[in-house]
């Protein structure tokens, strides 16, 4: 996440509670972080090292990316020793909403080096950790049903255009599910020296690893968070470094389904006021 000038401090009641519990020093400075598009996030400066405070918003229900504070706290607790995620310090709920408080992960949002991201995701997908997370979409039938639910929330004529682009192939569900991040976009991957850290664990699942691959490679998500889709060379570097032929063959078979779902999601975001998804919508349609 990118730090912005201090503004919009956290709710005073929440700050007071954090101070009383010894998590935050009196007079601590809060710096707004930009990166996530749903929740309010601040970098807490000082003390025994910088921390992050995330306050969850519970307004618009997102049909693709879950926003679950309990799941994020659980993932941070289980994964911090592995280096995949920051260390959780505390989590709670008050009248302002759910919140988590964790160590600040150094680094800047990912921009280059697709091979490193592939290696990170491959290591995550090979871990034996089983977290009490919901099942993810698995196979083309799930993706078809999920996309139709998203399109059912859309009202403009573009919806009919997308309905006509529904892929016709069938890919069975895989029994080889694992913990997936659920939102490994460029903005949620922090790069520091030679290490990468995944943040924003509010929508993990036990699912198909192809889901994470599709979200990272998505031209719409790359355009949104990095400014441009991956080049063919960057994409090839990612796929080569992921180096799991069976999973990649499955991903290639499912790729039109992921693109169709992402196009539907972009349309839903546009209809709900996020005009910056317009370019992504056209990119996903073009990929179909």
Report in angstroms the alpha-carbon separations of 158 from 122, 151, 177, 266, 270.
Answer: 36, 10, 34, 11, 11
pLDDT tier at 99 (50, 70, 90 boundaries)?
very high
Domains of the chain: 2-103 (3.30.200.20), 108-287 (3.90.1200.10)
Q: Report pLDDT for 6.
A: 43
Q: CA torsion sign, 277 to 282 to 287 to 288?
A: positive
pLDDT tier at 198 (50, 70, 90 boundaries)?
very high
> What are the phi and psi torsion angles at 37 (to 5°)?
-110, 10
In 3D space, the residue among 60, 42, 37, 64 whose CA is nearest the CA of residue 224 turns out to be 37
**Residue 223, pLDDT above cutoff 90:** yes
**Residue 4, pLDDT above cutoff 50:** no
End-to-end CA distance of the chain: 31
Give pairs for 274-280: CB < 8 Å, separation 24+. 274/37, 276/224, 277/220, 277/224, 279/220, 279/223, 280/218, 280/219, 280/220, 280/221, 280/223, 280/224
pLDDT tier at 79 (50, 70, 90 boundaries)?
very high
Q: Report pLDDT for 259.
A: 98
pLDDT, one tens digit per residue, over 32-47 is: 987 667 899 999 997 7
Q: Report pLDDT for 35.
A: 62
pLDDT, one tens digit per residue, over 237-280 is: 999 999 999 999 999 999 999 999 999 999 999 999 999 999 99
Q: Report pLDDT for 3.
A: 42
Q: Report pLDDT for 49.
A: 79
**Residue 70, pLDDT above cutoff 80:** yes
pLDDT tier at 193 (50, 70, 90 boundaries)?
confident
pLDDT, one tens digit per residue, over 106-124 is: 899 999 999 999 999 999 9
pLDDT, one tens digit per residue, over 120-160 is: 999 999 999 879 999 999 999 999 999 999 999 999 999 99
């Amino acid at each position: 996440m990118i730090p912005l000038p201090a503004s919009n401090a956290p709710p005073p009641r929440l700050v007071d509670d954090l101070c009383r519990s010894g998590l935050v020093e009196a007079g601590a400075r809060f710096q707004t972080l930009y990166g996530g598009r749903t929740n309010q996030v601040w970098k807490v400066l000082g003390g025994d090292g910088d921390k992050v405070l995330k306050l969850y918003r519970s307004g618009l229900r997102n049909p693709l990316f879950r926003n679950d504070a309990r799941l994020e706290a659980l993932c941070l607790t289980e994964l911090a020793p592995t280096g995949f995620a920051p260390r959780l310090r505390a989590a709670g709920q008050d009248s302002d909403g759910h919140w988590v408080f964790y160590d600040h992960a150094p680094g800047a949002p990912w921009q280059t080096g697709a091979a490193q991201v592939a290696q990170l995701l491959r290591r995550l997908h090979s871990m034996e950790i089983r977290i009490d997370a919901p099942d993810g979409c698995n196979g083309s039938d799930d993706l078809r049903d999920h996309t139709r639910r998203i399109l059912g929330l859309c009202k403009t004529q573009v919806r009919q255009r997308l309905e006509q682009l529904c892929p016709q192939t069938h890919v069975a569900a895989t029994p080889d599910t694992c913990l997936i991040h659920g939102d490994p976009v460029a903005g949620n991957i922090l790069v520091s020296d030679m290490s990468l850290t995944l943040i924003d664990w509010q929508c993990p699942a036990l699912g198909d690893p192809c889901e994470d691959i599709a979200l990272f490679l998505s031209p719409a998500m790359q355009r949104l968070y990095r400014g441009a889709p991956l080049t063919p060379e960057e994409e090839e570097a990612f796929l080569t470094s992921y180096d799991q032929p069976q999973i990649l063959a499955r991903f290639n078979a499912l790729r039109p389904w992921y693109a169709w779902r992402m196009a539907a999601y972009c349309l839903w975001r546009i209809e709900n006021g996020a005009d910056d998804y317009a370019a992504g919508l056209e990119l996903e349609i073009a990929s179909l």
